[in-house]
Amino acid sequence: MDQQVRRIAARYGIDLSEEEIARIAREAEAQEKVLAALYKIDLDQTRPILGITLPRSEGARQSRRRGSKR
């Protein structure tokens, strides 16, 4: 875990002390345990919530109106 912290710190140019690296690594381990619970349920056929709301384009609206006139 502390190697991962070091990699991120290097990537962002964050100067962390050894004490800070140890602390973040410790907390990240605990975080991983919390997140592990997400893998304990059956998600077969479950689609994620992605919040995509596609507005109908003006062109599509017009062609739909034309279609309905016919």
Question: Which residues contribute to the site for another protein (CB under 8 A)?
Answer: 1, 4-5, 8-9, 12-14, 20, 23-24, 27-28, 30-31, 33-35, 37-39, 41, 43, 46-51, 53, 55
Query: In whole angstroms, how close is the CB of 26 to another protein at the nearest point?
Result: 10
Nearer residue to another protein within complex by CB, 50 or 68: 50
Residue 21 in tokens: 């690296």
Say if residues 28 and 4 touch (Cβ distance below 8 Å). yes
Residues in the chain: 70
Residue 64 in tokens: 């739909």
Nearer residue to another protein within complex by CB, 34 or 65: 34
Say if residues 30 and 2 touch (Cβ distance below 8 Å). no
